[in-house]
Amino acid sequence: MAQSALVLGGGMVGVCTAWHLRERGYDVTLVERGVPGRETSYGNAGLIQREAVEPYPFPHDVLKLAQVALQRGNDVSYRLRDVLAVSPRLAQYWWNSFPSRYQISVAGYEALIRHCLIEHDRMILASGAGNLVARHGWKQIFRTVKGFDEGTAKALALTRRFGVESRILDSMELAREEPALKRTMTGAIYWESPYSVSDPGGLVGRYAASFTAGGGRILKGDARSLRTDGAGWCVDTVDGTVSGEQAVIALGPWSEVVTRMLGYRLPLFVKRGYHRHFGWKGTLNTPMIDAEAGVAMLPMALGLRVTTGAEFALRDAPLSTKQMDGSECLAREMLNLGDPVEATPWLGSRPCTVDMLPLIGQAPSHRGLWFHFGHAHQGFTLGPTTGRLCAELMNGEAPYIDPSPYRPSRFGRAAQA
């Protein structure tokens, strides 16, 4: 008889895990409270980021810290009360960003990122989603000479160390390649290998449809009803209680709701982000991100999606329009945006861990339970890569990537229920 599994959460990470388990012949039920791919995996920048071999560290540069503390830039913002509430976790994040520890995280991150295009390609092909994906990279644009010089030096270092390809464009070359730009920029790094997706939630939906076409089941239900059931696990859905020998928690920024319920105190936090679409009628040859200023401009099916940098706030804290307003203003300096499509910005939360690496592996205190979350800034990129890894581990196969950097037990007592 086929082995059975429950996958909790229908974002990019959960859907890809379910897909890979189904490919191994498992009887898989994916349990989602809403519709797959409508939360964080919907609202992101839609980039499959082959270049993102280094996770975002906590800044250690005094000038940058002062700029963030004084809320001078638009790339990072925070709610003081919320930052205080998660300060022990942020302190661990800061600690893990010191160069020697950070390099350990970089090694673990790069080992995943290097597979992202190949693993997405398999799923794009299987799900017939090629029309949603453009394979022409994105441009990191700069407004200051200092930023451009630092950025290009870093890009060259990434090419030397990891073989990530990029092309440096000076101000004139950028203006020629992107004639829609109104403002003169200092230059750009053109990351040519990443993909961009015109409807990120739609891509997750296609992967989910490929999963069900292959015999998988998606049911509406609440992961908070997860409990043990004889030798396995069960959860309540609108179609009744369903069970599986194994269960995977893949609830993105809501994972902690269920892990806490089970007694774990994992060092997780979120970095929130916003987007809004504009009825822009122009043409961009690739998406563009001005990371220095904190704004991304992404041609998508619903219009030009403008996204923000990171907001340090609790997941369920009220929406603040400040950072989105700042990003809109910056984008208007560069493009004729047109009117907003939505009445209010979309808000989502990147699920982060204090060492910048996702958790992928067996729950230390529960048999047959698996953790698969914490993909932070690159869960849309990494879902197929870590979905395969998680399925291989659950199935007892030799994993294609060394799983040790992501094992939940690395957090010691916090990972014990």
Ligand X SMILES: Cc1cc2nc3c(=O)[nH]c(=O)nc-3n(C[C@H](O)[C@H](O)[C@H](O)COP(=O)(O)OP(=O)(O)OC[C@H]3O[C@@H](n4cnc5c(N)ncnc54)[C@H](O)[C@@H]3O)c2cc1C
Chain contacts with ligand X (rule: CB under 6 A): 8-14, 31-34, 39-41, 43-47, 49, 222-224, 250-254, 273, 275, 307, 348, 350-351, 373, 375-381
Nearest to 218 by CA among 401, 90, 406, 38: 38
3-state secondary structure of 162: helix
CA 305 centroid distance within chain: 16
- Compute the C-alpha angle 142/345/38, nearest 5°: 100
Minimum separation from the CB atom of position 35 to ligand X (A): 8
CB closer to ligand X out of 186 and 271: 271
3-state secondary structure of 89: helix
Minimum separation from the CB atom of position 256 to ligand X (A): 10
3-state secondary structure of 71: coil
Q: Are 361 and 409 in contact (CB under 8 A)?
A: yes
Minimum separation from the CB atom of position 228 to ligand X (A): 17
CB closer to ligand X out of 105 and 186: 105
CB closer to ligand X out of 186 and 391: 391
* Residue 350, both tokens: 């990147």
CB closer to ligand X out of 31 and 174: 31
Minimum separation from the CB atom of position 159 to ligand X (A): 21
Minimum separation from the CB atom of position 200 to ligand X (A): 7
Query: How many residues does the structure list for the chain?
Result: 417
CB closer to ligand X out of 184 and 321: 321
CB closer to ligand X out of 175 and 317: 317
Alpha helix segments (H runs only) across 372-413: 379-394
Residues with Cβ within 8 Å of 312's Cβ and at least 6 positions away in sequence, in order, are: 76, 77, 78, 79, 82, 83, 86, 90, 269, 271, 272
**Element at 93 (helix H, strand E):** helix 87-96
CB closer to ligand X out of 31 and 415: 31
How many other C-beta atoms are found inside a 10 Å radius of the C-beta of residue 365?
Answer: 14
Minimum separation from the CB atom of position 346 to ligand X (A): 8
Minimum separation from the CB atom of position 194 to ligand X (A): 9
Minimum separation from the CB atom of position 277 to ligand X (A): 13
Quickly tell me which residue has 């090694």 as its tokens. Answer: 107
CA 365 centroid distance within chain: 27
**Ramachandran class of 377: left when φ > 0, alpha when ψ lies in -120 to 50, beta otherwise:** alpha
CB closer to ligand X out of 368 and 383: 383
